[in-house]
Amino acid sequence: MSAWRFVHVTDIHLGSPRSYRFNPAYGENWATAAGQIRALAPDLVLVGGDITRDGNLNGYEFAGSRAALDALGIPWHCIPGNMDTGNKHADRQGARPDRDDVACNVTQAQLDVYTAAIGPLTWSFVHRDVRFSGCYEAIAGTALPSAHALDAWLDGLAALPRASRHVMLNHYPLFTDTPADPPRDLADAGQYLDWYFSIDPGPRRRLIDAYRRAGVTHVLSGHIHCRRPPLTFDGITYCFGAATAFTQWPQRWPDGDATLGFQVFTVTPQGINCAFEPLARVSTRTDGRGPGGHPRPADRHA
């Protein structure tokens, strides 16, 4: 078998000038990334969510993001991110006064907008003896209809024909330190970001158990906008991907690197190797407008 490549790109946040906030620098960064991806000519591109800036509020943003992905001219497969559909569920207000965590919870209506515009929330296929699967892990453990469908999909994943490797695409990292991470208290300012950037222990165990039964070898994630060297626990390698839009949280880990770019995976008979491709040029535009983060409704039209 000759070596071949696939790309993992995530958190491109293209947005729209029609929205209450817009940063054209994110689009310029995507144009740079897209040119580099086309030059690499990978077999396929895995898109790890947050393809919009505010798709959870502005469904019209998906059309532009889809057109940008189609323009790659390379087969792509996408899962949603929290800015596309809404955040992991909070049961109470967190420590951040600048956002309403419960109001940010992902809804079925938001998921339906994504699926109509982009595609299914779960998928799996085999390409050149590697199985590729994807799901929006943030809905695990909720009462949403799509979460029940996710449970059924996870239960059936192990019955699919096996391949030499199995790559799973997620948006949220399942953990920030190890799969044994304890619960994080979103009402504690010192734990809020660890809560926001990972999956809670109960749903995490459900996902990892299903991944192990299905022979998953690699889990790719985004959301943090900060790359880390791959980590392997119990036979599964976890890859924390860089963003192309903007950086976040590089100080969280000694080995954290928020350089903008994307991940290139080379498949050989010996395994799958991961390399980082930094953006050849990062936009210096400063004419973006609107607040960052998850502004409260009253702040969304400032």
Q: What is the DSSP string of the chain?
A: ---EEEEEE-------TTSS-B-HHHHHHHHHHHHHHHHH--SEEEE-S--SSSTTT-TTHHHHHHHHHHTT-S-EEE---HHHH-BSP-SS--S-TTS-TTTTB--HHHHHHHHHHT--SEEEEEETTEEEEEE-GGGTTS--HHHHHHHHHHHHHTTSPP-SEEEEE-SS-S-SS-TTPPP--TTSTTTHHHHHTS--HHHHHHHHHHHHHTT--EEEE-SS--B---EEETTEEEEEPPPSS----GGGSTT-B---EEEEEEEETTEEEEEEEE-S--------BS--SS--GGGTT-
Residue range 180-193, pLDDT digits in tens: 999 999 999 999 99
| Mean of pLDDT values over 133-162 | 98
The pLDDT-based confidence of 302 (bands split at 50, 70, 90) is low
| Cα-only R_g, the chain | 18
pTM of the model as a whole? 0.97
Asked, for residue 111, whether it belongs to a domain, the answer is: yes
Asked, for residue 170, whether it belongs to a domain, the answer is: yes
Asked, for residue 180, whether it belongs to a domain, the answer is: yes
Q: What's the pLDDT at 29?
A: 98
Q: Structural domain tally of the chain? A: 1
Domain around 67: 4-285
What mean pLDDT is reported for the chain?
97
CA distance 191 to 66: 35
Asked, for residue 123, whether it belongs to a domain, the answer is: yes
Q: What's the pLDDT at 1?
A: 67
Asked, for residue 292, whether it belongs to a domain, the answer is: no
Asked, for residue 47, whether it belongs to a domain, the answer is: yes
Q: What's the pLDDT at 297?
A: 80
| Mean of pLDDT values over 160-179 | 98
Asked, for residue 300, whether it belongs to a domain, the answer is: no
| Mean of pLDDT values over 143-156 | 98
pLDDT > 70? residue 162? yes
Asked, for residue 239, whether it belongs to a domain, the answer is: yes
Identify the CATH number of the domain in which residue 232 sits.
3.60.21.10
Q: What's the pLDDT at 301?
A: 72
Q: What's the pLDDT at 230?
A: 97
Q: What's the pLDDT at 299?
A: 84
